[in-house]
Structure 1
Amino acid sequence: MRRFEFVTVDVFTDRRFGGNQLAVFPDARGMTDAEMQALAAEMNLSETTFVLPAADAANTARVRIFHRTAEMPFAGHPNVGTGYVLADRAVDGVLRFEEIAGLVEVRIERDGAGAVTGATIAAPQPLKLGPTMSVEIAAACAGIDPAGVVTARHPPTIASDGGNPRLLVEVTEAAMTAASPDIGAFRRAVASEPALGGKLALYLWRREGEGLRTRMFSPLVGTWEDAATGSAATPLAGFLLHLSGAEEGAWVMTQGVEMGRPSVLRTTARRTAHGIRATVGGGCVPMFRGSVTL
């Protein structure tokens, strides 16, 4: 029998029972792909990470990210949380994770006493905009009236920067509150839009005071609603910079309120010679420790 230790953390929060939950296996050497997928399904969280030795000695680790049904090339809160768990491996406060989408740089955050409080990550790829979708399809997936979709700044637009593509949709305050995913509409949308490749994650946003409010739905992979989605926050930040024409910008996004797991994601975006690059960061809180034998 083989024994593997794991820890869980709440990510993008400064208190327990907030933010997005994550399970981390800090040493997954000897696990098969099938075992990683089975453990992620058993944990039943939006993502679980498995840490392996880096292929390049200059990097910290190879990190594999699984949701309930498949492996992901990149995700936000899994990198922030895994960085928090592996903070003692940082060199000059920086970790470098090898992932399917590319190299992810993680900067550890500490308080005045030197205690680790969280991390900030850089998305591994520049902003990439995909096709737009109709207001009617976006509204149907969100379970809202089409009048709740705001198109003054942009139509519903697919965007990514290394993670799974997200459909970014600006909505009214009433629509944000009323939204409830319609899985039948999601299935019809992916069937009618070949460019989606059978996948669809819906990221609703609106301005609230000086910041943004967001909600994310991805029911086709088992995440009815996500409490905090770093890999949606970074393309949204990049997209907003793209729309503004500015050279750089910063946004604080609040997510998970409707779920009772409020999360705060701090994002930045800037223009570079290689496109718009974005970051997302936030706090982490440790929760559980345990082990599993396989």
Structure 2
Amino acid sequence: MAISLRSWLLDDSPTSRRQAAAGRTYRGGSALMRNPLAVVGAAIILALILTALFADLIAPGGAGGQYLDRRLQPPSSEFWFGTDQLGRDIFARIVHGAEITLQIVALVAIISAPLGLLVGAVSGYFGGWIDRMLMGVTDVFLSMPKLVLALAFAAALGPGIENAIIAIAITTWPAYARIARAETLTIRNTEFIAAARCLGASHTRIITRHVLPLCTSSMIIRVTLDMAGIILTAAGLGFLGLGAQPPAPEWGAMISGGRSFIYDQWWVSTFPGFAIILVSLGFCFLGDGLRDVLDPKSERKG
């Protein structure tokens, strides 16, 4: 049965859209599994998701308990990552902080990627003054460093995780718009788009049914690769007090809280920093693997 299923998935002449989609997914998954770094990255991201989902089981004591009699204790069998200046378990706070990190990257991607994809597709498809206007706005955002722009928006909106997410999303979408526009320019004059126009398809239908799906693979790659930058930007905002507010266990804020003790009690800032680096590397490894699998210019063999 397994052999027949594999033959069905790898059939060069699929008889239905479902079979074609399943075959592409199987080939892509097989290619991704052959990339060791991509597997490592996927494992790290999966561990982040599971940690966020089961934080109460992994660290049942919670992240907010303060015990001044055990403040600044070094890593031990009781407190794996030590305790901070308020006697809180750093391991528990990192575990519960995974939910905040996952929430930030997910919401930023949900907000910025569709917005950038739509702006870029509309700009590239229509061209003319629409293209100049939309890309002019995009270039204004791209002309400034992301972190500086995020700091400006976060300062204007006020501290808080919701405002930090909005600020990061505002600075992230222009790159996606540029990618979508470049992809759209290569396909807007192709024969199948011309055929759709001849059949009476509206501009909205052509963009939503033909243009946007063809831009999705490049967008997925870019979003995955950008997750590391999003995490670092969120940590930077938290470090400066513009992200999640205490007592929320946000990793950047944890580093900021331990910077006064970095020489003698190094573990207070070091372990949250390791968490940020590890998750960022996971997204980078996975993004590189997805680029090799989803790049339409690459040759893939089943």
Report the TM range for the smaller structure's normalisation.
under 0.3
Which structure has the highest helix share of the two?
A: 2
Q: Which has the larger radius of gyration?
A: 2
User: What TM-score, normalized by structure 2, do the two folds share?
Assistant: 0.25
Higher strand share: 1
Q: TM-score, normalised by structure 1?
A: 0.25
